[in-house]
Amino acid sequence: MQEILSIFKALSDELRLRILKLLQNGELCVCDIVAALDMSQPKISFHLSTLKEAGLIKDRKEGRWIHYSIDEPDLFRRFLILSALEKIAGDEVASDKERLAAFISDKAARAAVCLCRDATGNTERAN
């Protein structure tokens, strides 16, 4: 029972649904999500943790950085995620996607500081 409560709790928050919508198109570093949602890194990390604890997303370490993607471990979770994301209209997250696209396209070119969470959970700067 606790597992299903955790899943529905994770899906009951607008910000977590926006994060899932961004991850729908593939893996992202926390710095990408921070830029797309224009929010603080600790706030985003809290919501990523909730999604991960519910088994809805997974992380992958690359060097000292952690990248997140949707985890589709079983049919039930996959169905819930796809059903929830299908109900979110594109115009509701259009500005998130625009900020993400701008951030990603500028990230390499401008050598700006990118706040990313390393494997220990600390925030580090990467150029």
Please name which of 55, 50, 35 lies closest in space to residue 96, comparing C-alpha atoms: 35
| Confidence label for 110 from pLDDT (cuts 50, 70 and 90) | low
Percent of the chain with pLDDT over 90: 39
How many other C-beta atoms are found inside a 10 Å radius of the C-beta of residue 112? Answer: 13
The strands making up 57-62's β-sheet, listed across from edge to edge, are 28-29, 65-70, 57-62
CB within 8 Å of 44: residues ≥ 6 apart: 19, 30, 33, 34, 37
Q: What domains are defined for the chain?
A: 2-126 (1.10.10.10)
| Confidence label for 67 from pLDDT (cuts 50, 70 and 90) | very high
Q: Which residue has the higher pLDDT, 66 or 52?
A: 52
